Amino acid sequence: GENVEQHPSTLSVQEGDSAVIKCTYSDSASNYFPWYKQELGKRPQLIIDIRSNVGEKKDQRIAVTLNKTAKHFSLHITETQPEDSAVYFCAASISSGTYKYIFGTGTRLKVLA
C-alpha cells in the first residue's frame, strides 16, 4: 500500500551546521507535502509545506525541495540552533479518490551546543 519512508530516524548536528531530512513517497498521485515539528510533550505543528507544482520553497532558515520524478522531498534547516531540537515528521497527501494523508515515521533531531 501507500507509504512514506523517512530518513534518518535520528540526526545529531553541531549548532550552526545544516540538517537534512529526506522522505520518499510511493503514490505518484500525492500532491501536497507538509512538514511538522513536534517538541517534547507537545503537539505537532506545521513548519513548512510544498505543493506538487513547486520544486522548492524557503522560509528563513528552513527550506523544502521536491523531486516529483524520484518521488522524494527533503527538509533543509540551516544555521541550526538548540531550539531546533525536536522530532520532525513529513507527510504526503492525496486530495482526490482515497483522500489519504500519510505521515513518515519521524526524525529526532538533536542540535548540540
d(CA 53, CA 66): 9
Minimal distance, residue 10 CB to other proteins, in Å = 11
Question: Applying CB under 8 A, which part among 16-24, 34-42, 60-68, 73-81 lies near other proteins?
Answer: 34-42
3-class SS of residue 57: strand
Question: Applying CB under 8 A, which part among 15-23, 56-64, 71-79, 93-101 lies near other proteins?
Answer: 93-101
3 lines the binding site for other proteins (CB under 8 A): no
| b/e code 45-81 from CB counts within 10 Å (16+ = b) | eebbbbeeeeeeeeeeebbbbbeeeebbbbbbbeebe
Please identify, using beta-carbon distances, which residue of 5 and 17 lies nearer to other proteins: 5
Where on the chain is the footprint of other proteins (CB under 8 A)? 31-32, 34, 36, 42-46, 49, 51, 89, 91, 93-95, 98-106
